[in-house]
Amino acid sequence: MTSATAEEDAMVSAARTERRAPGTGRITFYVALAVFAQESTWNFYDNRVPELLRDHVASAAVVGLLMGMDNLLGIFIQPYMGNRSDNTRTPWGRRIPYLAVMMPLGAVLFLLIPHATALGPLILAIFAYALVMNSFKPVSESLMPDFIEPARRGRANAAVKIASALTTIVAALVSLLLVDDHPKLAFAVPAALMLIAAAVLVWRVRDSRSAAYRAALAEDEAAAADGTPRDADAGTTMRAVIRDLLRDPDRSRLLVILAVFAFGGAWFASRSLMTPYGVEVLGLSDGEAGGLTLPGGIAYVLAAFPAALLAERFGRLRVMAAGMVVFAAAMVLGTAVPTPAATIAALCLASAGAAGFVINAAVVLWNLAPSSRVLGSYTGLYTVGWMSGGLAGPAVVGLAVDVTGWSLMLLHIAVLTVLAVLLVLRVDRLRRATALAGEAARGEDGR
C-alpha cells in the first residue's frame, strides 16, 4: 500500500465516522475560539506591557527590543512545536494534549506579568509567557486543516482570521474599562477567555477523529510495513521537512513562503510606519496619525469571507495575486494624493486587497504539503515567513525612507508588494504546468 493510498483510505474511514467528529462549522468555531482567546492576550500584551517596561526602562529602543522578543522566539519555536505535534500520537490525537497543558499555563503566566514589580522578574515573566504562547500557537491553528478538507479551508481560515482581527476591539475595551482603576485585574479578563477556550477544546474536540490524523496513522502503518522509521526517513522530522522543501524541483512551496515573507514585510511596514508618515507627510498629530489604520481594519474584516469565496471560484493563487495588486495600487494612490482622506481611503482599499492574500496563503501552503503528517510543520513554516517579513519589512522600507524621504514611503511598500505578486504568479504557472503534465500522463495511461 502506498502512502497516498493509505491517506485516501483514512479519509474515507474518517468520513464514515463523521457523526462522531466535529463538523466543518463546529471545528471552525472551536479553532476560532482558541485563536480569539490567545490573540486577545497578545493584543492586550502589546497594549500594556510597553507601559510596564517604561516604569523601569527609559530607553525606547530597549523597550522595542524587549517587545520584539516574542517575534524572534516565534520564528524558531513555532516550526519546532508544529512539527513536534505532527509526530505526537495519543488517544486524544496529536494537538489537544499540548493545548490542554499550554493554554492554562499561558493564562497563568499572563496573570503574573502585572505583579512583577522589578525589571528582572518582569522580563522573566514576559519571556516565559512569550515562550509558552509561541509554543502552542501553531498547534491550535493546525487543528483546522486536520479536520477540514482542502476545498473548504479558505472559508474556515477566513472565520479564524476575522476572530483574530476582532481581538483588537476586546483589548481596547478592557483597556478603556479597567486599566485606569484596576490595572492588575485587567489582565484577568483575557486570561479568563483563554482558560474558557482551553476547557471547551479539551471537552469538545478529539483530533484523533480528524481525517488528517487518521490519514497520518495510515501512513505510519504503511511506513512500518515497509520497514521505514516514522520520524526519521519518512520525512516527518523538521530537518527532513526543510530538506524536502529545499530539494523539491517544483519550488512551489518555497516560493509561497518567500511570497509570504515579501508581503508580510509590506503589510507590517504599512502598519508600523504609518504614524510617523501621518505626522511627517500629512501634518497630523500623533493621535490622529495613529488612527489612520482603524478604518482599514474594518475593511479587512468585511473582505475576509468574500476573499475565501472568490478563491473557491477563481483559484487561490489568482485571488492572492489580485489582492496584492489591489494593495499595491492603493499604495500608489496614497502616494499620488497625500491627504488624510485619500490616505484613509487607500488604506481601506489596501486592507481589502490584503485579505485576498492573508486568507488564502496559509491554505495554499497546507494544500501543497506532501502529507497530512506535516500540516503542523507547514503552519510553523508559514509563521516563519510572515514573522520574518514583519521583522525585515519595516527596516527595509525605513531604510528606503532615509534615502528618499517620507513622501515616497507608500511607493516603497508598493514595490515590495510587486515582488510578492511576481512570486505568486510564478507559483501559479508552476501549478498549471504540473496540472497539464498530470492530465497528459493520465491521457497516455488511458490509451
pLDDT at 170 > cutoff 60: yes
360-369 mean pLDDT = 93
The CATH H-level superfamily of 238-434 is: MFS general substrate transporter like domains (1.20.1250.20)
Q: What is the pLDDT of residues 96-141, one digit of tens each?
A: 999 999 999 999 999 998 888 888 898 999 999 999 999 989 899 8
Residue 3: CB partners within 8 Å, gap ≥ 6?
A: 219, 222, 223, 371
Q: What is the pLDDT of residues 271-327, one digit of tens each?
A: 878 888 888 898 888 778 877 887 888 899 899 999 999 999 999 999 999 999 999
The CATH H-level superfamily of 22-209 is: MFS general substrate transporter like domains (1.20.1250.20)
Which cell goes with 281? 507627510
> Distance between CA atoms of 350 and 420, rounded to whole angstroms?
15
pLDDT at 255 > cutoff 70: yes
> Does 238-434 match 22-209 at the fold level?
yes
Distance of CA 317 to the CA centre of its chain: 17
pLDDT at 19 > cutoff 60: no
Domain extent listing, the chain: 22-209, 238-434
Q: Number of helices (H) and strands (E), helices first, in the chain?
A: 18, 0
**DSSP assignments along 149-193, one per residue:** -GGGHHHHHHHHHHHHHHHHHHHHHHIIIIITT-TTGGGHHHHHH
> Distance between CA atoms of 89 and 188, rounded to whole angstroms?
33
- Which helix (H) or strand (E) element contains residue 93? none
Beta carbons of 326 and 353 less than 8 angstroms apart: yes
Residue with cell 499620488: 336
pLDDT at 399 > cutoff 70: yes
